[in-house]
Structure 1
């Protein structure tokens, strides 16, 4: 091989080597920006005051008891629905009950204490116990609270009237009995929205 060819091949090899070396290490401009993001969940905080709505002794058929209580939204989210679950137990003092004491206690949800004739919904404790919480919301709380539900920071006064119904028949089996009523209020949020 002549010297020109060798010299040309050497230069070509050197150029190829430089190309491979410089191709793997090249410089470029860059910039970095960090974004800090936060997701903070709101709170649902429904309170009923007082927590004991009724405690009464020595009732008899024909007695009426009016009580008022508040539902308070102490959270940071609006409440769309208030659901009510009813449960009760009866202590049969004489052990002679053939009927359910709850069937003889009528519950009337009222608009306010001044107008006791404005009944929103009326049922017995026994029927209220079998109703779904959604049905109670539809029949009681929707008419009371309206479409807006219970917005943040609001308090709604509610009035309920209990009647020991005098059915005109023998109700002696309920003498000395105790009915322990438990109402569980559950708040549900409003629908999600674009933020």
Structure 2
């Protein structure tokens, strides 16, 4: 007889493994753009891929990171009642803390958007709208990502999806934590805006002065 905990455990592990796929690192290596961990901030997300000067790679990374979050929700939800939120949260954790990269991953904004959209698409639309509005309104990538993350639990609450508020709130808090260095630079007035990184598109080493959100 199969233990009752086995399938939920499988969903959690599957979600984590999906989320931990470092698409940014894979794409940059495969196309000869270098080791993403030695460029710009050293993060594996789309914003750092953009620092290679490859806009197409950055767009592909963004879409794939979004897709893996959504895929985890859809697969988890099809296997276990309530498994969508579980698998989606674990995919987000996997992106931020991938075991393959010694738990040094991205900041999770794109993956969170995929999770939120798959869980409740109206909140996903608000997430995207807030992300773009804050990004282009302030020219700070970090502000766009943080504002979008915070909008998710607010949108869930406004639409009466109280069942999804805890997971959305938890992911938003992790996004803010992952941006703590950006928050400190914003407070000091030292956060560079889009297109104004201190040393151009490509910087060597995981910079302590990560100028953006991913």
TM-score using structure 1 length? 0.28
Flag the structure with higher helix content.
2
Higher relative contact order (CA 8 A, sep 6+): 1
The structure with more strand, counted as a fraction of residues:
1
- Structure 1 or 2, whichever has the larger Rg, is 1
